[in-house]
Amino acid sequence: MSAPFLPFTRPTIDDETIAGVAEVLRSGWITSGPQVKAFEAKLSEYVGGRPVRVFNSGTCTMEIALRIAGIGPGREVITTPLSWVATSNVVLDVGAKPVFVDIDPLTRNLDLDRVEAAITPATRAIIPVDLSGLPVDRDRLYAIAQRHKLRVIEDAAQSFGSSWKGRRIGAIGDFVSFSFHANKNLTTIEGGCLVMNDEREAKLAEQYRLQGVVRTGYDGMEVELVGGKYNLTDVAARVGLGQLPHLETFTTKRRELARLYFELLGTPSVRALGLRLPVADFTHSNWHMFQVVLPEERLTIKRADVMAKLHAAGIGTGVHYPAIHLFALYRRLGWKDGDFPNAEYAGRNILTLPLFPSLTPADVERVVDALVTVLTAHLKP
Residues 42 and 125 in one domain: yes
Look at residue 1 and tell me if it is in a domain: no
Look at residue 10 and tell me if it is in a domain: no
Q: Are 153 and 65 in contact (CB under 8 A)?
A: yes
Residues 164 and 59 in one domain: yes
Give the phi and the psi of residue 22 in degrees, each rounded to 5: -60, -40
pLDDT of the residue at 1:
62
Residues 276 and 171 in one domain: no
Weakly modelled stretches of the chain, pLDDT under 70: 1
Question: Quick check: is 149 catalytic?
Answer: no
Look at residue 161 and tell me if it is in a domain: yes
pLDDT of the residue at 329:
98
Write the secondary structure of the chain as one string of H (helix), E (strand) and C (coil).
Answer: CCCCCECCCCCCCCHHHHHHHHHHHHHCCCCCCHHHHHHHHHHHHHCCCCCEEEECCCCHHHHHHHHHCCCCCCCEEEECCCCCCHHHHHHHHCCCEEEECCECCCCCCECHHHHHHHCCCCEEEEECECHHHCCCCHHHHHHHHHHCCCEEEEECCCCCCCEECCEEECCECCEEEEECCCCCCCCCCCCEEEECCCHHHHHHHHHHHECCEEEECCCEEEECCCCCECCCCHHHHHHHHHHHHHHHHHHHHHHHHHHHHHHHHCCHHHHCCCCECCCCCCCCCCCCCEEEECCHHHECCCHHHHHHHHHHCCECCECCCCCHHHCHHHHHCCCCCCCCHHHHHHHHHEEEECCCCCCCHHHHHHHHHHHHHHHHHCECC
Residues 304 and 236 in one domain: no
Residues 237 and 254 in one domain: no
Residues 229 and 265 in one domain: no
- Residue 315's domain is classified under what CATH number? 3.90.1150.10
Look at residue 133 and tell me if it is in a domain: yes
Look at residue 337 and tell me if it is in a domain: yes
Residues 273 and 309 in one domain: yes
Look at residue 134 and tell me if it is in a domain: yes
Q: Which domain holds residue 259?
A: 247-377
How confident is the model over 274-291, as pLDDT tens digits? Answer: 999 999 999 999 999 999
CA distance 236 to 239: 5
Residues 205 and 272 in one domain: no
**CA quadruple 60, 61, 67, 71: dihedral positive or negative?**
negative
**CA quadruple 49, 51, 57, 62: dihedral positive or negative?**
negative
CB-CB neighbours of 258 under 10 Å: 24
Residues 157 and 231 in one domain: yes
Last residue of a domain, one of 243, 273, 295: 243
Last residue of a domain, one of 200, 215, 243: 243
pLDDT of the residue at 82:
98
Residues 269 and 316 in one domain: yes
Last residue of a domain, one of 189, 224, 243: 243
How many structural domains is the chain composed of?
Answer: 2
Look at residue 9 and tell me if it is in a domain: no
From the candidates 37, 184, 203, 309, which is the catalytic residue?
Answer: 184
Residues 239 and 259 in one domain: no
- Residue 120's domain is classified under what CATH number? 3.40.640.10
Residues 159 and 78 in one domain: yes
pTM over 0.75: yes
Look at residue 3 and tell me if it is in a domain: no
